[in-house]
Amino acid sequence: MIHKRVLWSSKFILPAIKQAFIKLNPLFLWRNIIMFVVEVGAAATLIIAAMHFFAGIPYNFDLYISIWLWFTVLFANFAESLAEGKGKAQAESLKHGRSDVYAQRVKPDTESEVESVPALMLKKGDIVIITDGMMIPSDGEIIEGVALIDESAITGESAPVVREAGGDKTGVTGGTKVLSGTIKVEIRTNPGETFIDQMIGMIESSKRQKTPNEVALEIFLISSMILFIVVIITLFLFGVYLDFKISTTVLIALLVCLIPTTIGGLLPAIGIAGMDRLLSYNVIALNGRAVEAAGDVNVVLLDKTGTITLGNRLATEFIAAPGITEKELARFAMLSSLADDTPEGRSIVILAKEKLQIHGRDIRSPVGAKFIGFRAETRMSGIDVNEVQIRKGAVDAIENFVKARKIIFPAEVRQAVERVANEGGTPLVVVDQKTVYGVVYLKDVLKEGIRDRLLQLKNIGIISVMITGDNPLTAAAIAAEAGVSDFIAQANPSMKLKRIKKYQQDGYMVAMIGDGTNDVPALAQADVAVAMNAGTQAAREAANMIDLDSTPTKLLDIVEIGKQILITRGALTTFSISNDVAKYFAIIPALFVEKCSMLSVLNVMHLASPFSAIISAVIFNAIIIPLLIPLALRGVQCQQVSVEYLLKRNLLIYGLGGVLLPFIGIKLIDMLVVWLGWGL
């Protein structure tokens, strides 16, 4: 994660302060109606103060109120600018930091002079030259030449295809490879730029598309503001009827205190900060809707390989044949694997070293040894040392080897082989020309911490579905070990698509992560589709998020970020509305106590004077915004607990806390105001 701790450095603060003033421009502020209303109030009170000044009437009160209303707007603008600045810095560093595939671009205005540019920088209309063995950097059209292209990454078909300029076979796809030939390709899309720019667009609030949930919340906030405007205007008229004259400044102060300025001021910052957090995970969202939908996901499809398991099978256990010690087996298994450079082979050596307690970095191969590599015909590998022929391999291959040498294959070993297979592992049998030593247990090893993460998902009600090409038996064993809720064995693209549709019909929101072109239909169907940056162009187009690191477990982070954005909004909305209770108790008695002294019983905070009460409420209302900026940018903690517990906790903190805190805060500010002599 980048730029996590530098939020408060002057690098961000100073530009944000400048932006806060620039954003006072009503044409910008208009987008945030609640803050716009506050600004109108601030301007109106300023005019009133000026009029009082020129008329020779005391104007201090109006001026104080006006100043604090201006601060309220500035604080909100500052929050937004800070989030923007942080996000922009992150996007910039992404732009520069990416070193992807390089392409030979024909310099503009030349015929054939080329320069090397990152594929991400390619724009529509650029012309690139691609020759033998090069990756096609982006989708485009051949304008010159003919080439044999390996499109297996997209079609799964291993036979290469011919593409040539002119005719209807001119299209080439990013991510495919030229096997032979040289072609000139005109780029049709500008992928790198689109993604990053789209992301930057979502960070700049003036360009940002509001998400559906944000729109719904704004409808609620704005209509409650309108209701409060009605409350204030009618209060004024009731006052006139009862002969209580309430000044315009006081009415504006009361209005600003009641309308949800806290959430209204922080709402844009929350949305932007959510994008920032995504970026800090190296994920680019192509629209805000997807980020929000991520919070709603209740089914995630996870590829087994790379997401749940490490991707390679590793040796985890030696099961010795009768009469053989584990150490003997380990030694022979190690010898057979010394030259085996596959991850499986290396893992056998590592495990054997552990069992034999060898600490050396290298184990010298015995003198005169001859390595037997893995061959498709024999399906075994091993080593010949003098007369000894050590072999390891799949059980059927070894059986042939054993049969030829007329040695007995012990029943116990056969049982061990079956047990390993049933548990979802791969058994390798180790023999030499005379003896069957036993079985090496190769296992799909779960990624570290994946069990916990899947458990967290389960706790918050998300169903995890593992997708694997394994047979159902193996799949079931791994699923049980990892703790996934469900699995699709022997999966193919159409099965994935079908399963996603089925979940959606039942009302679930489905997220999936994919890379290959065969994932495209499923990605297009899923509600939240994350494509890995290493994946094909088609997959990236079908997705609504791109994972720049191509780390599949990101999906879980994305879900959390989506939830966090919603929770932060909800918590601050609740807080904002709860605050109104205390503000009523501060301001209402202050309004009427002069004419109707009995109402002083409502002055539960014992605020010093009507003026100090009103000013204190307005100051509290203003300074609560910067105090909550860290929370808005960081997001409310989203623990993986039951929803009822989460609600209870948030209600206690932001609901009850929101009712109580302003009573204390306003009282303290009141004391300060009196001490400063603003109480008049």
Partner 1 sequence: MLGTWLFQIVTLLFLLTACAFFLGEYMAKVFSGERTFISPILAPVENFLYKLFGIDPNEDMNWKTFAMNVIFFIFVGMIALFFLLRMQDSLPLNLNNFKAIRWDAAINAAISFVTNSDWQPYKSEAVMSYLTRMLGMGLQNFLSAATGMAVAVALINAFVRKNTPGIGNFWVYLTRSIIYVLLPLSIVLSLFLVSQGSIANLNPYVHIKTLEGKEQIIAQGPAAPQIAIKQLGTSGGGFFAANSAHPYENPTPITDYVNILALLLIAAAFPFAFGALIKDRSQGWAIFIAMMLLFIIGLWFVIWSELHGNPLLTKLGIHNGVNMEGKEVRFGPLASAFFANSATATSAGAASSSYDSLMPLTGIVLIFNMAIGEVIFGGVGSGFIGMMFYVMLTMFLIGLMIGRSPEVYGKKLEAYEMIMIVSALFLPCALQLILSAIAVSISAGTSSLGNPTFHGLSEVIYAYASGVGNNGSAFAGLKADTPFYNLTIAFAMLAGYLITIIPALAVAGSITQKNSSPLATRFPTNRPLFILVLVGIIFIIGALTFFPALVLGPVVEHLYILSGKTF
Active site residues: 303
Nearer to partner 1, 104 or 247 (CB): 247
Rounded to a whole number of angstroms, the minimum distance from the CB of residue 484 to partner 1 is 16
Calpha distance 248→114 (Å, rounded): 70
| DSSP E strands, 214-307 | 283-285, 299-303
274: left (phi over 0), alpha (psi -120 to 50) or beta: alpha
213 sits near partner 1 (criterion: CB under 8 A) = yes
Among 404, 505, 606, 677, binds partner 1 (CB under 8 A): 505
Binding flags for partner 1, 621-640, as an x/- string (CB under 8 A): -----------------x--
* Pairing mode, strands 463-467 and 486-488: parallel
Q: Where does this chain touch partner 1 (CB under 8 A) — which range of 383-391, 474-482, 611-619, 650-658?
A: 650-658
Q: For partner 1, how many residues bind (rule: CB under 8 A)? A: 67
603 sits near partner 1 (criterion: CB under 8 A) = no
14 sits near partner 1 (criterion: CB under 8 A) = no
Rounded to a whole number of angstroms, the minimum distance from the CB of residue 566 to partner 1 is 5
Nearer to partner 1, 414 or 501 (CB): 501
Q: Are 311 and 347 in contact, with CB atoms under 8 Å apart?
A: no
Among 220, 355, 356, 363, binds partner 1 (CB under 8 A): 220
HSE value, Cβ hemisphere, 13 Å, CA-based, for 556:
23
112 sits near partner 1 (criterion: CB under 8 A) = no
Binding flags for partner 1, 45-64, as an x/- string (CB under 8 A): --------------------
Query: Which amino acid is located at 312 in the chain?
Result: N
Q: Which residues partner with 180 through β-bridges?
A: 148
Calpha distance 625→627 (Å, rounded): 5
Q: Which residues partner with 531 through β-bridges?
A: 514, 546
Nearer to partner 1, 566 or 633 (CB): 566
Q: Are 179 and 132 in contact, with CB atoms under 8 Å apart?
A: yes
**210-215, Cβ contacts within 8 angstroms, sequence gap of 24 or more:** 210/271, 210/288, 211/271, 211/288, 211/289, 211/291, 211/292, 212/289, 212/292, 213/292, 213/566, 213/569, 214/267, 214/271, 214/288, 214/292, 214/569
Q: Where does this chain touch partner 1 (CB under 8 A) — which range of 16-24, 192-200, 287-295, 399-407?
A: 287-295
- CA of residue 592 relative to chain centroid, distance: 52
Among 14, 22, 162, 215, binds partner 1 (CB under 8 A): 215
Nearer to partner 1, 117 or 599 (CB): 599
DSSP secondary structure letter of residue 25: S
Q: Which of residues 289-308 bind partner 1 (CB under 8 A)?
A: 292-293, 295-296, 298
Among 237, 455, 652, 664, binds partner 1 (CB under 8 A): 237
Q: Are 87 and 279 in contact, with CB atoms under 8 Å apart?
A: yes
Rounded to a whole number of angstroms, the minimum distance from the CB of residue 416 to partner 1 is 41
Calpha distance 520→514 (Å, rounded): 8
Of the candidates 628, 673, 635, the residue with the CA atom closest to the CA atom of residue 260: 628
Q: Where does this chain touch partner 1 (CB under 8 A) — which range of 62-70, 129-137, 233-241, 378-386?
A: 233-241
648 sits near partner 1 (criterion: CB under 8 A) = yes
Among 8, 21, 30, 238, binds partner 1 (CB under 8 A): 238
**Helices 248-258 & 212-241, crossing angle to 10 degrees?**
150
Q: Which of residues 510-569 bind partner 1 (CB under 8 A)?
A: 562-564, 566-567, 569
- CA of residue 619 relative to chain centroid, distance: 37
Nearer to partner 1, 14 or 596 (CB): 596
465 sits near partner 1 (criterion: CB under 8 A) = no
Rounded to a whole number of angstroms, the minimum distance from the CB of residue 605 to partner 1 is 16
22 sits near partner 1 (criterion: CB under 8 A) = no
Calpha distance 415→439 (Å, rounded): 10
CB burial of residue 405 (10 Å; 0-12, 13-18, 19+): exposed
426 sits near partner 1 (criterion: CB under 8 A) = no
Calpha distance 126→128 (Å, rounded): 7
675 sits near partner 1 (criterion: CB under 8 A) = no
588 sits near partner 1 (criterion: CB under 8 A) = yes
Among 13, 24, 129, 599, binds partner 1 (CB under 8 A): 599
Site of interaction with partner 1 (CB under 8 A): 212-213, 215-217, 219-220, 223-224, 226-227, 230-231, 233-235, 237-242, 244, 258, 292-293, 295-296, 298, 461, 504-508, 562-564, 566-567, 569-571, 573-574, 577-578, 580-581, 584, 588, 592, 596, 598-599, 601-602, 638, 643-644, 646-648, 650-651, 654-655
